[in-house]
Amino acid sequence: MTDRLKEIRCFLLDMDGTFYLGDRLIEGSLEFLQKLRDTGRQCLFLTNNSSKSASFYVEKLKRMGVPEEFRRVLTSGQAAARYVTARFPGKKAFLLANRIESAEMEALGVETDREHPDYVLIAFDTELDYAKLTALCDHVRAGLPYIATHPDFNCPTETGFIPDIGATIAYVKASTGREPDVIIGKPYGGIVEETLRATGLKKEEMAMVGDRLYTDIATGRNFGMLSILVMSGETTQEMLRGSPIQPDLVFDRLRDMIPLL
């Protein structure tokens, strides 16, 4: 597997828990990027977090000192917007998202109608309230097509975790009996298709690097990419030992890969 690591042309890097935690860079992350530059490799930041726009993440990476050539970001929100505009042309969504992500979705062509939608699209809404949940459940219960940006249960922060969209999905299932018809983000195929389009590379030339077994590592395993787990975020040693989803390689953090590149 370490020999295969040398053949990787593009590293798909998760963000929360992998490259940084909150507003704090994980030690060695910038040195990892420097090694990619020195060895002629590229990276694409691939995040399931749809509570922020891609431009927000680009600016955050800039503030953290990430060189411009590496400030390429693909979010599950972007991938979901491209999916629904292609699958439901001319149709309108009940969109569950905060103001930042709603603006990005609309800029990408997602038309909305809260009262009489044609389908449901949910993102990680950090402005969620009971009225929104009630309306969401009403539309899902009515049988509208139901799409979610990603499945993560928790979002890592500097002080622990906050409930992510997976908790919302579980709430909706308890009320309506339905799970999303399609989930776009890791470990599902929608975001992989967008990744291939964005990089122009083959799956065998990419490595998926992240801190979560059920999203990041499952993506690599599901789609034939080298899967690399870093222990700087959600996954503990106990979780790793007990999981049926096993990575190809494990490192404490990104910088520990540097000697092998």
pLDDT in the model for residue 158: 72
Instruction: Tell me: do 33 and 95 sit in the same domain.
Output: no
Domain final residue, candidates 149, 183, 217: 183
The model's pLDDT over 150-178, given as tens digits with 9 standing for 90+, comes to: 998 888 777 878 999 999 999 999 999 99
Q: Check whether 4 has a pLDDT greater than 90.
A: no
pLDDT in the model for residue 147: 98
pLDDT in the model for residue 157: 74
Which two tokens mark 244? Answer: 């049926």
- Would the pTM of this model clear 0.85, i.e. be above it? yes
Domain final residue, candidates 183, 212, 233: 183
The per-residue pLDDT of the chain, averaged, comes to 95
Rounded Cα–Cα distance for residues 133 and 120 (Å): 12
Count up the domains in the chain and report the number. Answer: 2
Q: Check whether 104 has a pLDDT greater than 90.
A: yes
Question: Which band of pLDDT confidence, cut at 50, 70 and 90, is reported for residue 130?
Answer: very high
**Residue 84, in any domain of the structure:** no
List C-alpha distances in Å: 215 to 69, 94, 209, 212: 26, 25, 10, 6
Q: What is the mean pLDDT of residues 40-65?
A: 95
pLDDT in the model for residue 37: 97
Domain final residue, candidates 183, 204, 235: 183
The model's pLDDT over 12-38, given as tens digits with 9 standing for 90+, comes to: 999 988 999 888 999 999 999 999 999
Q: List CB contacts of 8: < 8 A, sequence separation 6 or more.
A: 41, 205, 206, 207, 226
Q: Is 28 left (phi over 0), alpha (psi -120 to 50) or beta?
A: left
Q: What is the CATH number of the domain that holds 241?
A: 3.40.50.1000
Place of tokens 């977090």: 49
Q: Check whether 101 has a pLDDT greater than 90.
A: yes
Q: List CB contacts of 122: < 8 A, sequence separation 6 or more.
A: 95, 96, 97, 136, 146, 147, 148, 149, 165, 168, 169, 180
**Residue 65, in any domain of the structure:** no
pLDDT in the model for residue 203: 94
DSSP for 13-69 reads E--BTTTEETTEEPTTHHHHHHHHHHTT-EEEEEE---SS-HHHHHHHHHHTT--GG
Which two tokens mark 190? Answer: 């929608």
List C-alpha distances in Å: 153 to 43, 101, 163: 26, 19, 6
User: Which of 14-23, 75-84, 136-145 has the lowest average pLDDT?
Assistant: 14-23
Neighbours of 31 (CB within 10 A): 11
What's the domain range around 233? 2-48+187-260
**Residue 61, in any domain of the structure:** no
pLDDT in the model for residue 154: 85
Instruction: Tell me: do 94 and 178 sit in the same domain.
Output: yes
